[in-house]
Amino acid sequence: MKTMRQMIWIIVMMAVVVFSATSASGQEITIALGSEPTTLDPQLREDGGERAVNDNVYETLMARTPDGKLKPGLVASEPKLLDPKTWEVKLRSGIQFHNGEPFNADAVVYSVKRIIDKKFNSEQISFFFTIVDAKKVDDLTVQIITDGPDPILLSRLYWMKMVPPVYSKDPKFAETPVGTGPYKFVRWNRGQNLVLEANPGYWGEAPAIKKVTYRFVSDAGTRLAGLMAGEFDIITNLLPEFTKKVPQAIHILGLEHPIIILNADAGPTKDARVRKALNLAVDKKALAEGLFEGFAQVAQGQLLSPSFFGFNKEVGPYPYDPNQAKALLKEAGAAGASIEIIGTAGRWLKDREMVEAVAGYWEAVGLKPKVRIFEFNEYLNRLFDRKTRADAIFVVSSNELMDADKSFSAYYKAGGVGSSNSDKDLAALIDSARTETDPAKRAALYHKAVKHAYDQAYFVWLLNIEDVYGVSKRLHWPGRVDAKMLVSEMRMK
């Protein structure tokens, strides 16, 4: 009798849970993130979980369209360059933070000074290190001063979230955020969930989704199960092999580029013919289809996506031509040469698989590739080793500023943290582009740099990976090239 009663109790409890799980009204969604925010202060950490939430709570002076074009955000019009080091921004009027603080020149000056303050020690400083000051001109006009000509300031401003000057000094600010965005903070149960609701006083178009709950699920299989069970509406980083099983798989060309850095200063790869052969030997299209089920595009012979500033339309991928590769290797006297390729496992999607596949292609043209997969820390030692560069190092570069400067300074330019060439001409092009404020001239400099590096085959450009999301049947969301999940762009079908 007693066990019977317990059974009934358990069944009732289950029913309640099932009911509560499916009773969410039509305008509420749940998003499963891989990691929980460590803070909700939008200026302090470099933290994907924090960003996913705060992108909806806070806004920036400049915004981007879903396909990546810069457009005014909290500014009323395109910022003007007064002199090479001074940008003037005019703000939209009548905007308030969720707590009623006005958004005005004081708020902008405060936000800029807060994030560049050495004592504040922001992890996001690598986005803003060129900014030295901000000055109020009038209530809706601010001047932003850089340490030299900074042509990518507007891209940088897309990453700087505007915070309320009074409330952000409150210790509670890091746990209960207040921004100007289309969603406002409701609650955060650490380890469990985080809830936002639509901001009724939003200055822009009212969002269609009224409430969003974030859940934190680190395991990809569990995220998938939650989507299949109808508990989640969006899951991030869906594995390509699962795309056929989910209600909708949204895929969009992302910011990540796997490449192989070739040592142009020593070893068999010193000869440009060998480097070209290493490119020609690899069937990039087969990698995209075999490893990523087609959820990746062949890289266009450059470390840039088509949406990035500096992308050179004239340059395309090296074709897959093993015969020409063999001929080039023979010509260079490198037939049968041994080439060491360094990689890591489990850090990036299919990292080890890509290295092994590339080594297979190299072997097929008669080379002797030596694959060395290291644990991430040891791998980084090799990647950053400035004294002895390995013949070939696999790396995945991600570029949130969507501008050539960051990736080129790190990998193309001689002396960059992951660069393996000492090409002074290329370095000079990248240096002059860094300070050229005329966009057309600047683009021309990058086009030249892209072509030059392509002709020298300093890298094996592999793929441009697509971001893949699993999405429930009821939700409509086109996705964004910058990997931001802006709930205001989602709606129910």
Partner 1 sequence: MGRYFLKRLWHGAIVIFGVTVLVFVVTRLVGDPVKVMLPLEATAEQRAAFERELGLDRPMTIQFVDFMMGLSRLDFGKSLWQHRPAMQIVFEKLPLTLELAILGIGLAFVLSIPLGILSALRPGGVSDRSTVFVSLIGLSIPQFWLGLLLIIVFAVQLKWLPTSGIDTPAHIILPTITMALPALARLVMIVRSSMIDELNQQYVKTCFAKGLPFYRVVGVHALRNAALPVVTLTGWELIRAVAGYSVVVETVFAWPGLGLTAIQAIEREDLILLQAIVFTVAILVVLINILMDVAYKIIDPRLKMG
Q: How far is CA 483 from the centre of its chain?
A: 6
Asked whether 161 and 170 are in contact (CB, 8 A), the reply is: no
CB 149 within 8 A of CB 85: yes
Strands 248-253 and 296-298: unpaired
Closest alpha carbon to 404 in 278, 288, 315: 315
CA nearest to 348, candidates 255, 427, 256, 276: 256
Alpha-carbon distance of 120 to 152, in angstroms, equals 23
Q: Please report, for residues 97, 101, 155, 198, 212, the alpha-carbon distance to residue 203 in angstroms, rounded to integers and kept in the order given.
A: 10, 14, 23, 12, 19
- Compute the least distance from the CB of residue 177 to partner 1, in Å: 16
**Rounded CA separation 303/396 (Å):** 10
Residue with tokens 């969507």: 402
**Nearer residue to partner 1 within complex by CB, 121 or 388:** 121
Q: Which is nearer to partner 1, 73 or 230 (CB)?
A: 230
β-sheet bridge partners, residue 397: 257
Q: Which is nearer to partner 1, 98 or 434 (CB)?
A: 434
Q: Which whole-number Å values give the CA distances from 167 to 51, 101, 179, 199, in the listed order?
A: 20, 8, 10, 18
> By the criterion CB under 8 A, which residues form the site for partner 1?
13-14, 16-18, 20-22, 35-36, 38-39, 45-46, 121, 123, 125-126, 190-193, 215-219, 221-222, 225-226, 228-231, 376-377, 380-381, 383-384, 395, 397, 406-407, 409-410, 417-418
Smallest separation (angstroms) from partner 1 to the CB of 225:
5
Whether the Cβ atoms of residue 315 and residue 303 lie closer than 8 Å to each other: no
Instruction: Report the C-alpha gap between 184 and 98 in whole angstroms.
Output: 7
Return all residues near 324 (Cβ < 8 A) that are at least 6 apart: 277, 280
How far apart are the C-alpha atoms of 196 and 212, rounded to whole Å? 5
Per-position b or e across 248-282, b if 16+ CB within 10 A of its CB: bbbbbbbbbbbbbbbbbeebbbbbbbbbbbbbbbb
Whichever of 77 and 218 has its CB closer to partner 1, that residue is 218
Cα–Cα dist 216/40, whole Å:
15
Using the minimum distance from each CB to partner 1, give the nearer residue, 83 or 384.
384
